[in-house]
Amino acid sequence: MVGKFCQRKRDRLRVDLVSEAKGLKRRLSNPLFVDEKILDENLVLVYSREQHVVLDSHIAIAFTIYELSKLQMLTDFYEVFKVRFPTIQVFL
């Protein structure tokens, strides 16, 4: 759940499968071009960044979920494990 809120949409890549030389030349000259991978003699994967990125993720929600999960783990440690195992030592 946290991962869905923390996605970095700017890092997403668009992948095109190109089989024609004209289309390949056009995509390689695009300023959004990142990388290419030759699959076959007549088939190339072209990686490029997205032209328009909509930043609609909620980082604050992800941060809150993360902090609440840390609080829950610490609460479990001090209220459950420390009570049952009083001689446990934690080395940080």
Domain assignment of residue 87, yes or no: no
pLDDT for 2 equals 65
Domain assignment of residue 90, yes or no: no
Rounded to 5 degrees, φ, ψ at 38 are -85, 120
Domain assignment of residue 89, yes or no: no
pTM above 0.85, yes or no: no
pLDDT for 68 equals 92
Alpha-carbon span 70 to 89, nearest angstrom: 19
Domain assignment of residue 42, yes or no: yes
Domain assignment of residue 33, yes or no: yes
Token pair 């992948």 is at which residue?
Answer: 15
Contact at 8 Å (CB) between 45 and 39? yes
Specify the higher pLDDT residue, 6 or 77: 77
Domain assignment of residue 19, yes or no: yes
pLDDT higher than 80, residue 84:
yes
Give the domain extent around 10.
2-82
DSSP state of 20: S
How many domains is the chain built from?
1
Domain assignment of residue 18, yes or no: yes
Residue 71's SS3 state is: helix
Domain assignment of residue 35, yes or no: yes
pLDDT tens column, 14-47? 999 999 999 999 999 999 999 999 999 999 999 9
**Mean of the pLDDT values across residues 76-91?**
80
Average pLDDT taken over every residue of the chain: 86
